[in-house]
Amino acid sequence: MRLLEEREAIVQYGRKLITSNLTTGSGGNLSIYNRAEGLVAIKPSGVDYFEMKPKDVVVVAPDGQIVEGDLQPSSEIRFHLALLRYREDINAVVHTHQVYATTIACMNWELPAVHYLVGFSGNKVPLAKYATFGSQELSDNIIAAIGNYNACLMANHGIVTVGKDFGSAFATAEELELVSRLYYQTKCIGEPAILSDKEMITIGEKFQTYGQRK
C-alpha cells in the first residue's frame, strides 16, 4: 500500500475533527501531500470518520488521477489539489464546517484580528466568494482569496486551513474557531477593537520562534 503513514494520519486527524467538535458526521475533509513521492492521500467521500480505515484512504496524483483506492475521493478534491499545487509550503489541507467560523462565513465577512491568535492565518482570515460545493469555481475562488494566508473562509460553507503538516493545519482550524467565536460574541455586544496590521506582523514573527526550541 502506498503512503501508509499519510493514510494513518488521515484516519487519526479525521477522528480528531469529530472529537474536537470541528465537524459532524462525515462532513469536512483532509488531504496530505508527500512531495518526495509526488502523491496525495485524501479522505474518501462520505465515509464515517470512525469507520474509516487506512485502506479506505484514496491516493491520487496531483492532477487528480487515482493511483490507489476503491472508494471515490472527497467531493472537494478540486480545491485540495489546487492548494497543494498552488504553494510549495502547503502539504496539508483541512476543510471543516466548524460552527463559529462558518457563522462568520455565512455573513460573507472576513475574520479580522479581534484576537492575536488570528496570526495562525495572518493579519486576518480572507473570504472566498460563494460557489457550489465541489465545483471548479469554488476551487478558483479559494485560490484567488487565500494568497499567503494559512486559512480562508468559504462564503455560506465553512473554512479551509493549510500548513506544512496536519499538526499545523489542524491547530490553525482549532485556534480560528476560538477567534471566530470571540468575533461573534464581541459583535453581539458592540464593536470589537481590532489589532493593527503592524502588531500582527510582530505576532507573526513571534509565532516563528514560539514553543520548544530544538
Can you name the residues that pair with 95 across neighbouring β-strands?
29, 160
CB of 1 to Zn ion, least distance (A): 27
Catalytic option among 6, 8, 51, 76: 76
Nearer to Zn ion, 50 or 133 (CB): 133
Nearest distance from C-beta of residue 110 to Zn ion, angstroms: 19
Smallest distance from the beta carbon of 171 to Zn ion, in angstroms?
20
Nearer to Zn ion, 46 or 167 (CB): 46
Tell me how far apart the alpha carbons of residues 48 and 111 are, in angstroms, rounded to a whole number: 30
CB of 138 to Zn ion, least distance (A): 9
Of residues 42 through 81, those in contact with Zn ion by CB under 5 A are none
- CA gap 92, 164 in Å, rounded: 6
Binding piece for Zn ion, criterion CB under 5 A, among 59-67, 109-117, 153-161, 172-180: 153-161
Residue list 74-113, contact with Zn ion (CB under 5 A): none
Task: Name the E strands within the chain.
Answer: 29-34, 39-42, 58-60, 66-68, 92-96, 127-128, 151-154, 158-163
Helix axes 4-19, 166-189, angle to 10 degrees: 20
21's grid cell: 467538535
Sole window of 15-23, 55-63, 151-159, 164-172 interacting with Zn ion (rule: CB under 5 A): 151-159
Task: For residues 145 and 126, give the distance between their C-alpha atoms in angstroms, rounded to a whole number.
Answer: 6
User: Closest separation between CB of residue 60 and Zn ion, Å?
Assistant: 18
Q: Which of residues 73 and 158 has its CB atom nearest to Zn ion in the complex?
A: 158
Which residue has the closest beta carbon to Zn ion? 158
Stretch that binds Zn ion, among 57-65, 85-93, 98-106, 157-165 (CB under 5 A): 157-165
User: Is 76 an active-site residue?
Assistant: yes
Instruction: Write the CA distances from 202 to 17, 118, 119, 153, integer angstroms.
Output: 30, 13, 10, 23
Measured between alpha carbons, how far is 70 from 59 in angstroms, rounded to an integer?
A: 10
Task: Confirm if 69 and 9 have CB atoms less than 8 A apart.
Answer: no
Rounded Cα distance, 31 and 163, in Å: 11
Q: Between residues 98 and 123, which has the closer beta carbon with respect to Zn ion? A: 98
Catalytic residue IDs: 76
Give contact residues for Zn ion (rule: CB under 5 A). Answer: 158
